């Protein structure tokens, strides 16, 4: 009978149903308790940053769920992205911070390592796919609103969101495990990184690599198209103005999606480099901080750049209790322009 461990992949499905996991026979308790595994200062910084973003993401999600704006197609996709942001800031930021403080490698806790790592990579790649979907929606909304309506109006937008969600449910159970190691302060597919030990596993994920590369390409292409369509419409009709005080929020739309897309592309390219090139600890840690920014900065962008969302947030009771200073004018943008241009 062939040795099944030589043919089975290391993923959540095989771990649950066949108890198939990377071996920890090489590691002693002394190795697992090595103080060199700990990076408390960096870990605490990551925890604090993540907690701030977690609170901001919750506020942003609450604003997006407001009945005044949640019926818009772009907002519905943004809600899906915001839900990923809120969910993933814990496994991609808070838990790694705690692991850095305590000193954690794969064999410190195999079950935690498997489910934590796969949750983080699944939610992050799902965010990438939703971002591509949003970029397509916004591009069509500006250039071809009728086509956008045919593809996204009504339950169709939920269908797109559901298809992406279903795929990543499958991805969670079948994709190779991405594991966090406090040795380098980042997620990697090699559970024994910086140790002289290997097993029969393939320390890579083809889909994750394709996701990072294709997301970067699609986001850049679609937002360049967004800019081209905007300039075309402006020149042809002279009805759109790149002005922040218009009800269609054209300026805030472009600025927020451009900054978000740039950060996402930068994060994906950063991680692709880790796969093939030996890098230093600083690079690993910077490439951990960037995805945390990806999951956390949307809330700040929406609040700073979008007057409608800012107005909703400033109407929250907690905002009034603490009497925060307004960073910009509150604009109650009239919801009468179109589903495609008023808000994102």
pLDDT of residue 251: 58
- pTM, full prediction: 0.83
> Does residue 100 sit within a domain?
yes
CA distances from 284 to 76, 116, 274, 295, 300 (A): 34, 18, 8, 18, 25
> Does residue 23 sit within a domain?
no
**Structural contact between residues 207 and 201, judged by C-beta atoms closer than 8 angstroms:** no
pLDDT of residue 205: 76
DSSP reduced 3-state for 127:
helix
pLDDT of residue 255: 67
Angle formed at CA 332 by CA 329 and CA 334, multiple of 5 degrees:
140
**Structural contact between residues 118 and 181, judged by C-beta atoms closer than 8 angstroms:** no
> Does residue 66 sit within a domain?
yes
pLDDT of residue 130: 92
- Determine the Cα–Cα distance for residues 253 and 251; give it in Å rounded to an integer: 5
pLDDT of residue 276: 67
What is the chain's length? 344
> Does residue 97 sit within a domain?
yes
- Determine the Cα–Cα distance for residues 172 and 323; give it in Å rounded to an integer: 43
C-alpha torsion 219→220→225→226, nearest 10: 60
Q: Which residues pair with residue 179 across a beta bridge?
A: 188
> Does residue 13 sit within a domain?
no
> Does residue 20 sit within a domain?
no
pLDDT of residue 6: 46
Domain limits for position 136: 31-322
Q: Is the Cα dihedral 242, 243, 249, 251 positive or negative?
A: positive
**Average pLDDT per consecutive 10 residues, the chain (344 residues; last block may be shorter):** 54 93 90 92 96 94 89 90 95 96 95 96 92 84 84 94 96 92 91 82 76 78 73 63 44 67 79 75 88 87 83 78 51 44 42
> Does residue 301 sit within a domain?
yes
DSSP for 169-231 reads HHHHHHSPPPEEETTTTEEES-TTTTSS---S-----HHHHHHHHHHHHHHHHHHHHHHHHHH
How many domains are contained in the chain? 1
Helices and strands (H, E) in the chain, number of each type: 13, 2
CATH number, domain with residue 315 = 1.20.1070.10
Q: Is the Cα dihedral 322, 324, 330, 336 positive or negative?
A: negative
> Does residue 294 sit within a domain?
yes
Q: What is the 3-state secondary structure (H, E, C) of 34-74?
A: CHHHCCHHHHHHHHHHHHHHHHHHHHHHHHHCCCCCCCCHH
Q: Which residues pair with residue 187 across a beta bridge?
A: 180
């Amino acid at each position: 009978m062939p040795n099944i461990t030589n043919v089975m992949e290391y993923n959540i499905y095989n771990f649950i149903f066949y108890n198939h996991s990377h071996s920890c026979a090489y590691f002693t308790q002394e190795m697992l308790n090595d103080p060199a595994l700990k990076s408390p200062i960096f870990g605490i910084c990551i925890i604090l940053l993540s907690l701030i973003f977690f609170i901001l993401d919750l506020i942003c999600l609450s604003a997006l769920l407001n009945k005044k704006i949640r019926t818009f197609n772009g907002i519905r996709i943004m809600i899906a992205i915001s839900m990923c942001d809120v969910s993933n800031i814990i496994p991609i930021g808070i838990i790694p911070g705690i692991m850095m403080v305590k000193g954690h490698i794969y064999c410190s806790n195999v079950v935690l390592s498997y489910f934590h790592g796969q949750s983080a990579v699944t939610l992050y790649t799902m965010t990438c796919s939703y971002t591509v979907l949003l970029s397509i929606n916004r591009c069509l909304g500006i250039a071809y609103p009728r086509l956008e309506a045919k593809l996204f109006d009504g339950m169709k937008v939920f269908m797109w969101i559901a298809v992406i969600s279903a795929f990543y449910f499958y991805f969670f159970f079948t994709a190779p495990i991405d594991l966090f190691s406090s040795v380098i302060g980042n997620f990697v597919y090699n559970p024994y990184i910086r140790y002289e030990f290997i097993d029969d596993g393939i320390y890579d994920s083809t889909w994750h690599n394709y996701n990072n590369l294709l997301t970067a390409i699609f986001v850049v292409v679609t937002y360049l198209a967004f800019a081209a369509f905007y300039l075309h419409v402006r020149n042809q009709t002279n009805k759109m103005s790149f002005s922040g005080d218009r009800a269609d929020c054209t300026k805030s739309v472009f600025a927020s999606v451009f900054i978000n897309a740039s950060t996402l592309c930068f994060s994906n390219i950063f991680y692709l480099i880790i796969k093939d090139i030996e890098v230093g600890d600083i690079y690993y840690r910077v490439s951990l901080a960037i995805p945390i920014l990806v999951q956390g900065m949307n809330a700040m962008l929406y609040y700073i750049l979008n007057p409608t969302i800012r107005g909703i947030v400033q109407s929250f009771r907690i905002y009034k209790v603490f009497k925060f200073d307004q960073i910009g004018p509150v604009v109650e943008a009239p919801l009468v322009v179109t589903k495609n241009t008023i808000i994102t």
